[in-house]
Structure 1
């Protein structure tokens, strides 16, 4: 809980979402100012990088005490979904069944309904501690999850892991891990089932994506062999001033790509802001392409066609 000195003094005159959601979804319901106020007053809490939820007892002392007891015997490390919950890598509750990794040659914990046991030797450099609980670090935890996921979902989770906090969204923390750490962990997994997917996802991971939709669109561009876009990089004017920050951008062809959520961008005030943004983009000599969820249907066929046309107009040749 925040101390009284940290709390904002203005009245709480807005409705706090009563379910978990992404920061982008929260911005569709509340102005950024209200989100910052809710975070400062603990009526809204961070559930992980880019994820918010109402005040909850998610990481309850009883769950932590249980994990401390389960790992009191050496050779047991918290991993998989349980480590992801502790790190805030996935919006999953911290509770049973708890995932424990046992070193090879050690007896497995057999507690039906309470523990899911795994056997693996986790390199020491990928181990960490949280409140006296040994657990896998964010990079290794990501590999545990990604080995069981299809490529796109593994990449979305990788982008979440390496995403730094955005101060304009009220975030003050850094990323859970680095792209280089993901790649080292992926390499250390050796020939495990799903290792190729994990290695490829680690190579495609980029810091800065604010939503799964942005990651998905970037992946569709990769699959279509289009030029790789940068993620949330500012476009500068001739004086080096920040003017526009597109979701994705291809600097060589001066193409800015914006993914627009339907609800927030249908608001009249937001429509005006979108028009002004496009005008500023074009004033810099760039072209803006807007992508909506309709373009993302059928593996992004409409989005790729629209981006391809814009790239060709800008001089790109496949």
Structure 2
């Protein structure tokens, strides 16, 4: 048996079981868990994404780095769930179950973050444009802007020089990324509106008191037309404090004669057509000019309910 490389109880290490008797193997497995084939860590160590990334790199050849979904999540970005650890290798090489291998691209920007080599935030955004649809790429961009990994203008400038497959999608997604977005569902709501051909709303409008404190924050707004569109998550229904804050805000909006349209998760995921009908109706009632809707939203937000009237 090769001596275990154990830099610390909380570090993953490689271990060979060649020539090991059953009793020794049983004792070892009582105190350790396998992260990947041949890579172990103490059972007392919490398994985090960073730990899995470190473990995957132990199996990789030199100059390999974390990328794609794994890099995005380590930077604090929001991407669809993926159980694999994503690693880019200088040369493609078969790896064990649980590790997704990628080919390197020309001039990929790799940095050290959390002590691990991985693609830089903007590079990660560009790489993910090869794997995700437009809406999910913009969700990632908005979340990374919120984490202050880059600004929308910086991202657009980098995307303009991006070439290769899916570069057009990357450039378009970069131009749709905004600052001040509070959640992925806010991004989806805004894109439902924009991809339907409606005017883009203002994001994250804030109302301050005389001391500079934030009184209210509007997710999406057309203040010229006294219309606010907001996404309400479960915290609004489950938090009594939030519930009282919403009541006070709604009363203030009534005093200011502002129309507030509330959208929840199913309105976006299941009945986007009906949601657009509500939005168009609210715009019309506020006297806002409404253009003819385009059909692009249907590609990204499929309606999962039949027999409803969709906006023309």
**CA RMSD of the aligned region, Å?**
3.3
Residues of 2 paired with 1:95 and 1:150: CA distance? 19
Report if aligned partners of 2:50, 2:74 keep a CA contact under 8 Å in 1. Answer: no
Residues of 2 paired with 1:311 and 1:62: CA distance? 49
Residues of 2 paired with 1:92 and 1:280: CA distance? 37
CA displacement at 1:60 relative to structure 2: 5.7
Distance of aligned partners of 1:68 and 1:85 in 2 relative to their CA distance in 1, 3 Å threshold: farther
The aligned counterpart of 1:229 is 201
Aligned-partner SS, 2:168: helix
Aligned-partner SS, 2:181: coil
Query: Are positions 1:81 and 2:69 aligned together?
Result: yes
Alignment of 1:119-268 (within 5 A): 119-123=103-107, 126-164=109-147, 175-192=148-165, 194-236=166-208, 242-261=214-233, 264-265=236-237
Gaps of 5+ in 1: 1-54, 165-174
Residue deviations 1:120-175, cap 9 Å, x none? Answer: 33436x321125533210111122122211211222122111114xxxxxxxxxx2
Task: Tell me the TM-score normalized by structure 2.
Answer: 0.66
CA displacement at 1:215 relative to structure 2: 1.0
Residues of 1 paired with 2:156 and 2:71: CA distance? 19
Aligned-partner SS, 1:247: strand
Distance of aligned partners of 1:181 and 1:287 in 2 relative to their CA distance in 1, 3 Å threshold: same
Equivalent residue in structure 1 for 2:256, among 253, 269, 284 = 284
Gaps of 5+ in 2: 1-44, 291-312
Aligned-partner SS, 1:289: strand
Residues of 1 paired with 2:80 and 2:189: CA distance? 25
Report if aligned partners of 2:57, 2:65 keep a CA contact under 8 Å in 1. Answer: no
Report if aligned partners of 1:78, 1:101 keep a CA contact under 8 Å in 2. Answer: no
Report if aligned partners of 1:58, 1:93 keep a CA contact under 8 Å in 2. Answer: no
Residues of 2 paired with 1:268 and 1:132: CA distance? 41
CA displacement at 1:220 relative to structure 2: 0.8
CA displacement at 1:181 relative to structure 2: 3.5
Report if aligned partners of 2:49, 2:70 keep a CA contact under 8 Å in 1. Answer: no
Report if aligned partners of 1:255, 1:287 keep a CA contact under 8 Å in 2. Answer: yes
CA displacement at 1:264 relative to structure 2: 3.4
Aligned-partner SS, 1:295: helix
- Structure 1 or 2, whichever has the larger Rg, is 2
Query: Are positions 1:118 and 2:108 aligned together?
Result: no
Residues of 2 paired with 1:286 and 1:239: CA distance? 23
Residue deviations 1:20-44, cap 9 Å, x none? Answer: xxxxxxxxxxxxxxxxxxxxxxxxx
